[in-house]
A and B are shown apart, each in its own frame.
Chain A
Amino acid sequence: MKNTPNLSTTIGKIRLKNPVMPASGVFAFWEDIAKLIDLSRLGALVTKSLRAKPNPGNPPPRVAEIPAGILASVGIQSIGFDAFIESELPFLRRFNTPIIVSLAGESVEEFVEMAKKLNSVNGVAGIELNLSCPNVKKFGMHFGRDPEMTKEIVSKVRAVTNLTLIAKLTPNVTSIAEIAKAAEEGGADALTLINSPLGMAIDVETWRPKLANITGGMSGPAIRPIGVRAVWESSKAVNIPIIGVGGIASTSDALEYIIAGARAVQVGAANFHNPYVMIEIIEGLQDYLIRKGIDDINKLVGCLITQ
């Protein structure tokens, strides 16, 4: 009988008991998912992006189904940074799982301010900078499309925090590797790839867009190849760990990302399809390692054979 293979890994200073965590935005509220799955079993908990001030988000309809996925434009509805820290964070602290707080500033200053405030908040392990929301007009993706801007935000936040700093990047660019490099140069400890690719869907009976925001971010299995490609390209360009996200709905999907170069993975829309999916993937990774006779998941990271 072999020993149980190692699933634990590290992202910056964060020790993860396994490489599986929810993607930011999936759970704005955690109360009901905590009734269905044990959040203590996850590698980390990633919050929905916090805004510096409360924001109502985009008008409905906010979601439409697309082939093997969804198109969504929630627009980062947020109760605001302070209210979240006071009313929602204590719930997440109950679980023996590192908390990664996602931040969505409307300016460089807002990112820096929120990161500073986190220095005096207990129980936060890391910051994920949302440099890439496709659904917020004023800012969002604009930051993450420009290497200089990406580097500036990351470095200014780096200057005020010792928490593990992760930059989440958009695939809606010509070269994601270039942006990944900029984030690394700015001092990021890790990268999360990818945010939602922009998409659009139309109701041909009414001639109206299916979302009130007209365009939205695509998620679900439909986008997985885009994410896997982005992780592979970026992993060759940077030396910091990458968290792969985009269309993961099964163990083999997670493995694709890991083999492409991701040290950890996030699961997004698949939680809506199957709320147990993250637990199933954790168990599936274990089974896979046993079947392959591999004692440590980290040995799989970037093991892609191209010749």
Chain B
Amino acid sequence: MYRFLAEILSNECVAKEHYKLAFKAPQLAREARAGQFITIRYVSESFDPFLRRPFSIYRVDGDRVEILYKVVGRGTALMSRMRAGEMIDVLGPLGNGFWLKDDVDVVILVGEGVGVATVMHLAQDLYEKRKDIERVAFVGAKSPDLLLGTQDFKRFGVEVEALAGNDDWSYQPALVALLSRRIEGYRRNGKVVAIYACGSNHLLSDVSNIAARYGVPCQVSLYTNMACGIGACLCCVRKFRDATGGIVYKRVCKDGPVFEAKEVVWF
């Protein structure tokens, strides 16, 4: 973990309200593990917006680090107007990444909306280190134009199942049904499957239920509002179930952001 100023290399609109920002960060590009995150502050004299913003890493390419983000508030709106050559203040890599057991035959990635970014970094990691594993990505979005990253998944040797809604969440049940059928197929063939997912609470809880039903290990990357991003302030906690079934708060930034799905209390 370290803080540095990074030059923006590009910041392009890739779909309605969605942007991909690339910045130069050789050390981060080398050291960040899939599932870790960074926080970004806009280099300015202003304290408004005040907090750093957390982002997953989408992909690294040499010295370039790419993030994918959606404009959801004032911070990301300001960020969307930044240009190549401007500087950002980056802190990272933060949190724990995904972890992978050796005996896995199939990795299923689930990415919904900008959640695609989090699992894309894992797709890249597997492409570089574990081509022996069969990889399939389930990509979901509220409309076809927001199905992001499908080409990049293919580039990383990942089969893609893309499902879009009609400006609504209608694709979610279809995605979950398709996922179930796929897992049943792998089970019939005796393959060991692991799921890695990032998306809305609703989809993640459904995916978590499917994983539990079939006894498939499932890791989810969670999001909450964060303040410090370094495990100090206790602002980003969510509810989890501990070993005895009791409810505990854990810090998404430091204890996560990747958790075993079965530990998460979804609603």
Contacts and interface: CB of A to CB of B under 8 A. Distances in A.
Interface of A: 25-33, 35-36, 56-57, 59-70, 72, 74, 77, 220-221, 249, 269-276
A221 B248 contact: no
Nearest to B94: A32
A295 to B, nearest CB: 30
B235 A63 contact: yes
Given A60-B237, A65-B50, A274-B41, A269 B230 contact: no
B41 A28 contact: no
A63 B1 contact: no
B70 interface: no
Given A32-B232, A63-B233, A65-B49, 8 more contacts: A30-B232, A36-B2, A56-B247, A59-B239, A65-B225, A269-B50, A273-B41, A273-B50
Given A61-B224, A65-B49, A36 B3 contact: yes
Contacts of A61: 224-225
B227 interface: yes
Contacts of A36: 1-3, 230
A32 B231 contact: yes
29 contacts: A28-B233, A29-B231, A32-B1, A32-B231, A33-B230, A57-B234, A60-B249, A61-B224, A61-B225, A62-B234, A62-B236, A62-B237, A63-B227, A63-B233, A63-B235, A63-B236, A65-B75, A67-B48, A74-B235, A77-B249, A221-B47, A269-B50, A271-B228, A271-B232, A272-B52, A272-B229, A273-B52, A274-B41, A275-B230
Contacts, number: 108
Main secondary structure, interface of B, reads loop
A209 to B, nearest CB: 13
A275 B50 contact: no
B226 interface: yes
B17 to A, nearest CB: 16
Given A36-B3, A274-B41, A60 B224 contact: yes
B32 to A, nearest CB: 16
Interface of B: 1-3, 41, 46-52, 75, 89, 91, 224-239, 247-249, 254
B238 A60 contact: yes
Contact of B227 (A30, A249, A269): A269
A13 B2 CA distance: 36
Contacts of A35: 1
